[in-house]
Amino acid sequence: MAPISTPQTPFGRVLTAMITPFTADGALDLDGAQRLAVHLVDAGNDGLIVNGTTGESPTTTDAEKNDLVRAVLEAVGDRAHVVTGIGTNDTRHTLELAREAERTGAHGLLAVTPYYSKPSQEGLYRHFTAIADATGLPVMLYDIPGRSGVPIETETLVRLAEHPRIVANKDAKGDLGRASWAIVRSGLAWYSGDDMLNLPLLSVGAVGFVSVVGHVVTPDLRAMLEAHLDGDVQKATEIHQKLLPVFTGMFRTQGVMTTKGALNLQGLPAGPLRLPLVELSAEETEQLKRDLAAGGLQL
């Protein structure tokens, strides 16, 4: 049974976009994934995203994706929303992943904008609508034009929000003005997909975060969110400012690389990366340690 949700927070409030642990030889580490999922939920996450780009989804097979969903559900499925990434730039493949995710028991779907092919807004509308029609699961859109090449324009978000199963948007567009209008006009549950903008997006109507830095500072993110909800602007701002070195450090280079580096330093399940991603250099690791220490985290 999935944890309690509301129309305003269909996937919870604090979600971490979970890395996919691998064994030393590069195989899927399901035991490690379960241990990491439990650790993240114990730390304060009420939702987990698996099989997103932070989970190295471009390099995992469909079978591995299903196995990962099943393992995480077994570990935390009654304590957290388990949402799985199913987005690709091939609509037919995406629909296959969505249907399999439903059969496996996922609580929701994360659908990224099709990348590289740069479809029109009408193409985006039809792609996302097809996903929502394919299963009975709620859908979170993922708008990240810096990687996909195409934004989901506000008018398209408004149209998509009319579908009863398209309930949320993960916003990595980095535009607070457009987010403000889209939140008001679409009525979608809005989740920050850019850690540096977690608090600013809350201030214009977001309900929570889909975070990468949540791997290492979930308690701080939870405290910042609760301070904001309580109307304690000063406390929320202080926490945001304390975390600035963490936000910076975790994205000095590719975020999966730094996240796995940080988790490996902490002795938590992570393991190596699959090419084309590579492990941090010794210099990058030392810089990451300094950045995290500046944010209050000692490794």
Residues comprising the binding site?
54, 210
Rounded to the nearest angstrom, the gap between the alpha carbon of residue 243 and the centroid of all alpha carbons in its chain is 18
Q: One-letter amino acid identity for 276?
A: P
* Residue 84 φ/ψ, nearest 5 degrees: -115, 140
Distance CA(127)–CA(94), nearest Å, equals: 9
- For residues 235-270, b (16+ Cβ closer than 10 Å) or e, as one string? ebeebbeebebbbebbbebebbbbbbbbbbbbebbb
The one catalytic residue in 65, 115, 125, 142 is 142
CB 21 within 8 A of CB 33: yes
CB 185 within 8 A of CB 156: no
Query: Does 170 participate in catalysis according to the annotation?
Result: yes
* Binding-site residue set for pyruvate: 54, 210
Distance CA(242)–CA(117), nearest Å, equals: 39
Residue 291 structure tokens = 């950045």
3-state secondary structure of 1: coil
Residue 272 structure tokens = 């190596």
The one catalytic residue in 65, 115, 125, 170 is 170
Query: Does 191 participate in catalysis according to the annotation?
Result: no
Distance CA(43)–CA(132), nearest Å, equals: 31
> How crowded is residue 51: how many other Cβ atoms within 10 Å of its Cβ?
29
Q: Any idea which residues carry the catalytic annotation? A: 142, 170
